[in-house]
């Protein structure tokens, strides 16, 4: 698992995850992932398009980050999970907690909309 971070022109923080969010993958990026989610009133976009697998270890990382960001006045959304990953997210009812978008423009619009 690897993590690529960058800021978009509109101030949105983009975190792209690549690989499997299993035990090893989650532990290898978790500290860096949360570091990029620190701050007040953040807008964080987590790109899951290159995540091939997510386990019960990876789900709490995403949920806890979303709760942390939201608790500090921000918003975190997920972008474009692969079918197998989306299936697991739906089983865990994650779309009820963290918004999921399937294209970049609607994800950005969702992040920038007033809460």
pLDDT single digits (tens) 68-90: 999 999 999 999 999 999 999 99
Place of tokens 């500290």: 31
- Edge-to-edge strand list for the sheet holding 100-101: 2-7, 13-21, 43-54, 75-79, 100-101
Is the four-CA dihedral 3, 72, 22, 32 of positive or negative sign? positive
The pLDDT > 70 percentage for the chain reads 98
Residue 93: predicted pLDDT: 97
pLDDT band at 43 (very low <50, low <70, confident <90, very high): very high
**Non-local CB neighbours of 76 within 8 Å, separated by 6+ positions:** 37, 42, 44, 45, 46, 65, 66, 69, 70, 98
Residue 113: predicted pLDDT: 87
pLDDT at 38 over 60: yes
The string of DSSP codes covering 28-75 is HHHHHHHHTT-SSS-EEEEEEEEEEEE-TTHHHHHHHHHHHHHHTT-E
Domains of the chain, earliest start first: 2-112 (3.30.750.24)
What is the reported pTM? 0.95
- Mean pLDDT of all residues in the chain? 96
């Amino acid at each position: 698992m690897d993590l690529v971070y960058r800021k978009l022109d509109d101030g949105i923080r983009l975190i792209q995850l690549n690989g499997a969010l299993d035990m090893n993958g989650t532990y290898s990026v978790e500290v860096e992932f949360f570091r990029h989610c620190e701050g007040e009133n953040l807008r964080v976009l987590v790109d899951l398009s290159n995540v091939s697998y997510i386990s019960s270890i990876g789900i709490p990382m995403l949920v806890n980050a979303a709760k942390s960001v939201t608790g500090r006045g921000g918003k975190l959304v997920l972008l474009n999970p692969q079918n197998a990953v989306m299936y697991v997210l739906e089983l865990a009812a994650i779309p009820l907690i963290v918004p999921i978008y399937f294209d970049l423009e609607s994800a950005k619009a969702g992040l920038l909309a007033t809460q």
